[in-house]
Amino acid sequence: MEVVNFCNIANGGCDHKCEHSEDGPVCSCRKGFTLQADGQTCIDNDECAGNHCCDQVCNNNQGGYTCTCQTGFLLDLEGCHCDVVVVVVVVVVVVEVVIVVVVVVVVVVVVVVVVVVVVV
């Protein structure tokens, strides 16, 4: 008698994974999904409803989640924590102002030297 592997026919009726057994197909789900009572259907878990690493905003997606930050913050390389961006911008602006002041002082000194040389 030939054994029929129902996993080879429409994936055994399984949404995700199908494993052949003597009793018929056995369904399972990919990570981030839960097998329903019908034994075939997989639904996405809402990882944001439970424990997650996001500091600010958790975005549920198919099979997982991603973190995002509010305006004025930047997501770190780990993808969980939000760092303040405003401090970095303020430091850059201060450095640019100092550079402009130094350039203006140099221009004034050059003009004074030229005037002194022309007068003498």
Q: Which residue has the higher pLDDT, 70 or 120?
A: 70
- From the candidate CATH numbers 3.40.50.150, 3.40.1110.10, 2.10.25.10, 2.40.50.100, the one assigned to the domain spanning 1-44: 2.10.25.10
Give the pLDDT band (50/70/90) at residue 114. low
What is the tens place of the pLDDT at every residue in 79-102?
999 999 865 445 566 667 777 776
Protein fold of 46-108: Laminin (2.10.25)
Return the pLDDT at 37. 98
Measured CA distances, 75 to 9, 11, 60, 72, 85 (Å): 45, 40, 16, 10, 10
d(CA 15, CA 84): 42
Summarised one tens digit per residue, pLDDT across range 61-75 is 999 999 999 999 999
pLDDT digits (tens, 9 = 90+) for 12-38: 999 999 999 988 999 999 999 999 999
pLDDT: is 42 or 103 the higher one? 42
Do 46-108 and 1-44 fall under one CATH topology? yes
| Per-domain boundaries in the chain | 1-44, 46-108
